[in-house]
């Protein structure tokens, strides 16, 4: 059978063959349709446990908060060594098996900690030492002290829970700045309200981290999956530690100042989380593609120069105002009589009244009798060799 050459040439015309076949360019390496679908929708992150982070980098990312925790533990151990309840209190201690590190009686310190005179010696805040003795160095020791073992465990557990998350998400520099600045501003606020009894303010830094966490959660609300759980966690930790601050020696005004300053600093520094390396999924999406996509989305939605400017301005005004007030010796309790109840709840074991306690001492037959001049309560001690600082501690307990 003969074939017409003209028809054969038309059937294999290259121009017609090119129009019929749609040649697609090869896809990029390791890029599939599942990867393309991933880029079409915003990536949702888990607030407290981002699934886009390699576990092997956790330790390297949390060195700063870990360092702060270690320093606080060392400071508390040094406080208990100086306290030396076994010898200074003549064995009237809790957990006597700890010897020198045993705690004062619960009637004196319900948080399992040192005496008031020891806290004074280690650098706690008291109005008289600021206004009369001008010991401004206490502004730097105040945020490093804990009132007791219970305060230490609860406070540092919350610092680890909140601080490590912030350091992983936003880096050690941002977390460190918020921690230190919130602690200092919280100390200044506490100095404006501090009374004649000693107080410590290590919770100011914790509340700064809580305020920054709340700020970061609000700013990045759309990109988190468990935002309501995270919000409930922040509220629960804040309320629990605030209630702890109603007990003796723990200052709640440092917590309030730390929370406000932490929120303002978080509004400035924590506008977008630090996205780390992403492991390849089944579709083979490269980590730089996801990272660039998230960053572009954040630039579009979270770039708020006015909001940041107002936040840094408010923080600057708060810092300057508190600093001037402390240097001028202003006592805010004179203008707010009920504010003291945000820091202390009256109890049978202690008083919230701001007053100097005085006791009459009488020694006879190897016994020492202390009598409170305010309410007539007295206590007989089976020894007479007692320091004046320890006498003042017992006088406060008797008068309360």
Maximum average pLDDT range among 149-158, 194-203, 356-365: 149-158
**Does residue 278 have a pLDDT over 60?**
no
The model's pTM is 0.79
Cβ partners under 8 Å of residue 181, min gap 6: 208, 261, 265
The model's confidence at residue 266, banded by pLDDT at 50, 70 and 90, is: very high
**Does residue 107 have a pLDDT over 60?**
yes
Cβ partners under 8 Å of residue 82, min gap 6: 114, 118, 121, 122
CB 122 within 8 A of CB 145: yes
Per-residue pLDDT reduced to its tens digit, 137-153: 999 999 999 999 999 99
For residue 115 the two structure tokens come to 């005496």
| pLDDT on residue 79 | 96
Q: Domain 62-273+288-343 in CATH: superfamily?
A: Rhomboid-like (1.20.1540.10)
Per-residue pLDDT reduced to its tens digit, 293-332: 555 555 544 456 888 889 999 999 999 999 999 999 899 9
**Other beta carbons less than 10 A from residue 63's beta carbon:** 10
The model's confidence at residue 382, banded by pLDDT at 50, 70 and 90, is: confident
| pLDDT on residue 225 | 77
Domain locations in the chain as residue ranges: 62-273+288-343, 359-399
């Amino acid at each position: 059978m003969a074939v017409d050459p003209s028809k054969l040439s038309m059937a294999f015309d290259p121009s017609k063959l090119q129009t019929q076949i749609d040649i697609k360019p090869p896809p990029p390496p390791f890029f599939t349709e599942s990867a393309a679908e991933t880029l079409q929708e915003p990536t949702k992150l888990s607030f407290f446990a981002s699934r886009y982070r390699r576990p092997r980098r956790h330790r390297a990312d949390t060195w700063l908060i870990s360092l702060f925790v270690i320093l606080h533990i060392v400071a508390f151990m040094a406080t208990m060594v100086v306290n030396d309840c076994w010898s200074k209190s003549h064995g009237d201690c809790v957990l006597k098996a700890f010897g020198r590190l045993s705690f004062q009686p619960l009637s004196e310190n319900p948080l399992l900690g040192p005496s008031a005179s020891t806290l004074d010696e280690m650098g706690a805040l008291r109005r008289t030492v600021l206004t009369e003795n001008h010991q401004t160095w206490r502004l730097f020791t105040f945020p490093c002290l804990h009132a007791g073992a219970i305060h230490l465990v609860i406070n540092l557990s919350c610092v680890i829970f909140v601080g490590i998350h912030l350091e992983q998400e936003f880096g050690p520099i941002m977390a460190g700045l918020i921690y230190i600045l919130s602690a200092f501003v919280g100390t200044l606020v506490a100095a404006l309200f501090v009374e004649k009894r000693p107080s410590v303010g290590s919770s100011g830094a914790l509340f700064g981290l809580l305020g920054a966490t709340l700020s970061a959660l609000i700013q990045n609300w759309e990109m988190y999956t468990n935002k309501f759980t995270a919000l409930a966690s922040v509220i629960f930790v804040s309320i629990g530690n605030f209630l702890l601050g109603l007990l003796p020696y723990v200052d709640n005004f440092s917590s309030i100042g730390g929370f406000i300053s932490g929120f303002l600093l978080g509004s400035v520094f924590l506008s977008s989380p630090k996205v780390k390396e992403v492991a390849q999924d089944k579709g083979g999406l490269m980590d730089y593609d996801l990272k660039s996509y998230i960053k572009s989305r954040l630039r579009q939605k979270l770039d708020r120069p006015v909001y940041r400017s107002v936040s840094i301005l408010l923080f600057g005004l708060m810092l300057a105002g508190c600093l001037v007030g402390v240097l001028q010796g202003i006592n805010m309790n004179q203008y707010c009589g009920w504010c003291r109840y945000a820091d202390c709840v009256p109890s049978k074991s202690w008083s919230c009244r701001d007053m100097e306690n005085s006791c009459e001492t009488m020694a006879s037959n190897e016994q020492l009798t202390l009598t409170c001049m305010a309410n007539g309560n007295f206590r007989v001690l089976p020894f007479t060799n007692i320091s004046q600082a320890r006498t003042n501690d017992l006088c406060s307990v008797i008068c309360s």
